[in-house]
Amino acid sequence: MAETAALAWRNWAGTESATAAEVLAPRTTEQISAAITSAAERGLTVRARGSGHSFTPAAAAHGVALDLSGWTGVTAVDGAEVTVRSGTTLAALNTELDRLGRAMANLGDIDAQTISGAIATGTHGTGARLGGIATQVSALELALADGTVARCSATERPDLFAAARIGLGALGVISTVTLRTEPAFALAAQERPEPLDAVLEGLDDSCADNDHFEFYWFPYGQKALTKRNNRLPGGAVPQPLGRAREFFEYEIMENAAFGALCKIGRLVPRLVKPLNRLSASVLSPRAYSDVSHKVFVTSRRVRFVESEYAIPRAALGEVLAELRARVPQLVEPVMFPVEVRFAAADDIWLSTAHERECAYIAIHQYRGMPYLAYFSLFESIVSAVGGRPHWGKVHTLDAEALRARYPRFDDFTRVRSEVDPDGRFRNPYCDRVFGPI
The 10s digit of each residue's pLDDT in 151-187 is: 999 999 999 999 999 999 999 999 999 999 999 999 9
pLDDT score recorded for residue 216: 95
pLDDT score recorded for residue 261: 86
Q: How many CA atoms lie within 13 A of 397 on its CB side?
A: 27
Whole-number Å distance between alpha carbons of 420 and 305: 32
**Residue ranges in the chain whose pLDDT is less than 50:** none
pLDDT score recorded for residue 418: 98
Whole-number Å distance between alpha carbons of 49 and 64: 10
What does the chain come to in residues? 437
pLDDT score recorded for residue 4: 60
In this structure, what are the phi and psi dihedrals at residue 399, rounded to the nearest 5 degrees? -60, -40
Residue 38 parent element (H or E) = helix 29-41
Give residue limits of the domains in the chain: 2-66, 69-183, 186-389
| Helix, strand counts (H, E) of the chain | 15, 21
Structure confidence by residue, pLDDT tens digits, 30-70: 999 999 999 999 999 999 998 999 999 999 999 999 999 99
**CATH class of this structure's domain 186-389:** alpha beta
| Whole-prediction pTM | 0.95
Whole-number Å distance between alpha carbons of 260 and 366: 11
pLDDT score recorded for residue 259: 87
Whole-number Å distance between alpha carbons of 162 and 8: 33
Whole-number Å distance between alpha carbons of 420 and 437: 8
pLDDT score recorded for residue 58: 95
**CATH class of this structure's domain 2-66:** alpha beta
Q: What is the CATH number of domain 69-183?
A: 3.30.465.10
